[in-house]
Amino acid sequence: MKKYIYSVIIIICISLFSCTDILDRNSSGEIDSGSIWSSENLAAQGVNGMYQALRMPVWSGSFVGATTNLGYYAWEAFGMTGQTNKSAYGLFSDGNAGNTQFSSVWKWCFTGINRANDAINGLPDTPMDEAKKEQWIAEAKTLRAFFYMRLTELYGRGIGVPIYDEVVTGSTSTKGQSSESEAWDFIIQSLTDAINSPNFPDNTIGSSGRVSKGTAYALRGKAYLMRSMSLNENHYAAAVADFEDVEAMGYGLFGDYAGIFKESNEGNNEMLLVVQNIATQVWADASGIEPMYGSSVQKYCAPYQAGSKDSRGCWNDIQITPAAVDNFEVLVDANTVKTFNWNDFIPGYNETGYADRMVYFLRNTQNSAGVDIHANITREVNLKLSGISAANISKYLPSGNEDRISAAYANRDPRLEASIITPYSSFIGVNSSSSAVGEYIYRWPALGAIYFDGANAESSLVSGMKSTLTSNNTAVLVYMFRKFVSEGVELEYRNTSPVDEPILRYADVLLMKAEALVELNDLSGAKAAVERIRNRVGMPTMAQSFASQTIARDYVRDERRREFVGEGVNFFDEMRWETLKETKFEYASKSALQVTGASAPGPTYVWRDSWYTWPVPKDEVEMNSNLKRTPGWTY
């Protein structure tokens, strides 16, 4: 079914739409709405075009080593759980409403809105089965609500967004912003219309990946939750009721957390809204073949020695933050967990100056008998040690450093290992030609970005030694993605992974329900919802974590940070909680975008409170005088 859907999308994008410019003011007239809704076959292609609009929401800007659009995982770079060592954070501080990121995401939202509106207005006159027609209209209203929700949570806080229920062209996109309250009314009404459609299926589990009544309930509950937080209203009970209806539609938790993100388990009962991917490369441009229908997560987030049948050498430009890793709890026993604290594993760690903490992460130079493993290894470690202060250099253990640091990652929440590659863990990668696979160990420092069949591979230096896994920048030690990343030669193409990208899954629904229950001060209900998530991975839920409303609120938020790391969810959470300043910038100033302090921190950016409302793009207000400029931004 997946390949059928996307073959249709490819046809429609080539023959009927300008897929990249559908709402561009210079090209919006290219949409041939009159013909596309003239028959059921053409209408089916138009409906599939709405789903195509979900793809690749994030312009890469300067935070990966290419200029392209990226998948939902790329939102990680903006949130507390993700980072990049490039210059993406200029968005936060330069105050420039003309930044391409803002115009790109604005356009992405309105592309989806325009395609949905085209379907909603065109389908009623299509000669076809009425029940199927009603289903497609309900799908269109659900997707339109999703795009408007994203638009409102980014650009509409406090000032609202322009609301269109018709197809927009360059000459008709002249509305100013409706109020934020009106935007939420429009979103909720669209979802209510979809829910009330008698021909909208309860779920689409195991089938095409289309939205369903369960998706609409989940999105409407989320709309009530976000509206309550943003406008200081109380729609929490309505949110809870909708979240409970999602389960009544047949959705639930998939049994295996790590298995959720595998191609073999696509269409499982947890997925409410996804981007479907296939391993194909469709179009080429001046910069080479771009991933049009597969995810580029392998290319931009995987370890250096990961790859695919066609390529090796992944970039890991987007990484996991130290804050996200430290947030995963320690499993003490079957009934007890505790907050992770470095001092529990390495006494004095927290008191060690940031730049000197690399001493704890260095690899062994000696074996258990006190004999140097290899001169090259000793040389590289000594180079790092030369940067350690005299007061802390003695904390290095030549034959015990690896065991000491590894212990800090053991007996932790299993989602840590399932989601993140930590120091001294292993990974199955490829060789220099992607013709064979082997195990790599993430040691640091690496002797170079080399493969196990290279002339200077560690396995050739020391008999029986596994080669060292590296990041794209071997000078630093970073936490890398394991979630979504394929091992060995599972993939046909490095930059078009076939693994579907989850946008909304049932775990998200349960944790949003817990949030709403906390705000209603139903702490036992919130605990019960969180327990379902944690029971799946064998982590007990402590009563003390719900001892008060304030404690419970913080705990549910931390649970969301654990559950969705790497999925592009956290940034939007921090935005609606208005916690991004504390969790991103104040922590980043201490952790400097990496684990160890192995090299100089990245650029320093100053927080701006205006960040919580993205600016209406500069080119939009210049072309439409009815749009209000967003306060706090430079136009």
CA distances from residue 552 to 103, 338, 413, 521 in whole angstroms, order as listed = 37, 15, 19, 9
Residue 598 pLDDT exceeds 50: no
Number of H helices, E strands in the chain: 23, 15
Which residues, in sequence order, are bridge partners of residue 337?
331
Total residue count of the chain as it appears in this document: 635
Q: What is the pLDDT of residue 596?
A: 57
Q: What is the pLDDT of residue 35?
A: 84
Residue 6 pLDDT exceeds 60: no
CA distances from residue 170 to 29, 105, 166 in whole angstroms, order as listed = 7, 18, 13
Class of residue 440 by CB neighbours under 10 A (exposed 0-12, middle 13-18, buried 19+): buried
- How far apart are alpha carbons 431 and 576 in whole angstroms? 44
Which residues, in sequence order, are bridge partners of residue 275?
501
Q: Residue 605's pLDDT band (boundaries 50, 70, 90)?
A: low
Average pLDDT over residues 228-238: 98
pLDDT (tens digit, 9 = 90+) per residue, 83-127? 886 656 667 678 899 999 999 999 999 999 999 999 999 999 999
Q: Residue 594's pLDDT band (boundaries 50, 70, 90)?
A: low
- The 8-class DSSP code of residue 96 comes to B
Residue 186 pLDDT exceeds 80: yes
- How far apart are alpha carbons 44 and 202 in whole angstroms? 20
Residue 33 pLDDT exceeds 70: no
Q: What is the pLDDT of residue 19?
A: 34
Question: Which has the minimum average pLDDT: 151-160, 297-306, 470-479, 518-527?
Answer: 470-479
Q: What is the pLDDT of residue 88?
A: 60
What are the strands, taking DSSP E only, across 170-317? 271-275, 284-285, 288-289
pLDDT (tens digit, 9 = 90+) per residue, 140-166? 999 999 999 999 999 999 999 999 999
- How far apart are alpha carbons 635 and 626 in whole angstroms? 15
Q: What is the pLDDT of residue 590?
A: 52
Question: Which has the minimum average pLDDT: 206-210, 264-268, 284-288, 607-611?
Answer: 284-288
Q: What is the pLDDT of residue 85?
A: 66
Q: Residue 27's pLDDT band (boundaries 50, 70, 90)?
A: very low
Every domain of the chain with CATH number 1.25.40.390 lies at: 42-60+89-274+614-623
Q: What is the pLDDT of residue 326?
A: 94
Q: What is the pLDDT of residue 592?
A: 44
For 42-60+89-274+614-623, which CATH class? mainly alpha
- How far apart are alpha carbons 523 and 552 in whole angstroms? 7
User: What's the mean pLDDT when you consider all of the chain?
Assistant: 89
Q: Which two tokens stand for residue 123?
A: 């389908």
- How far apart are alpha carbons 623 and 174 in whole angstroms? 8
- 390: nearest Cα among 369, 359, 364: 359
Q: Which two tokens stand for residue 314?
A: 């992944």
Which amino acid is present at 57? P
Q: What is the pLDDT of residue 17?
A: 37
Average pLDDT over residues 577-587: 86
- Within its chain, how far is the Cα of 314 from the centroid? 18
Question: Which has the minimum average pLDDT: 51-55, 286-290, 408-412?
Answer: 286-290
Average pLDDT over residues 513-527: 98
Q: Which two tokens stand for residue 267?
A: 């269409």
Q: What are phi and psi of 305, to 5 degrees?
A: -85, 5
Answer positive or negative: Cα dihedral of 143, 10, 297, 309. positive
Query: Interhelix angle for 506-519 vs 236-248, to 10°?
Result: 150
Q: What is the pLDDT of residue 90?
A: 67
DSSP string, 579-623: -HIIIIIIHHHHHTTSSS--S---------GGGGSPPPPHHHHHH
Question: Which has the minimum average pLDDT: 186-190, 314-318, 521-525?
Answer: 314-318
User: Who contacts 628 (Cβ-Cβ below 8 Å, separation ≥6)?
Assistant: 159, 176, 177, 616, 621
User: Who contacts 114 (Cβ-Cβ below 8 Å, separation ≥6)?
Assistant: 22, 23, 28, 31, 164, 167, 168
Q: What is the pLDDT of residue 168?
A: 87
Q: What is the pLDDT of residue 87?
A: 59
Residue 591 pLDDT exceeds 80: no
- How far apart are alpha carbons 549 and 405 in whole angstroms? 35
Which residue did the predictor score with more confidence, 587 or 454?
454
Three-state DSSP state, 373: coil
Residue 597 pLDDT exceeds 80: no
Q: Residue 11's pLDDT band (boundaries 50, 70, 90)?
A: very low
Q: What pairing do the DSSP bridges indicate for beta strands 69-70 and 501-505?
A: unpaired
Residue that has been written with the tokens 């309105």 in this structure: 110
User: Who contacts 347 (Cβ-Cβ below 8 Å, separation ≥6)?
Assistant: none
Which residues, in sequence order, are bridge partners of residue 420?
481
Which residue did the predictor score with more confidence, 24 or 304?
304
Q: Residue 293's pLDDT band (boundaries 50, 70, 90)?
A: confident
Residue 328 pLDDT exceeds 80: yes
Which residue did the predictor score with more confidence, 170 or 297?
297
Average pLDDT over residues 26-47: 73
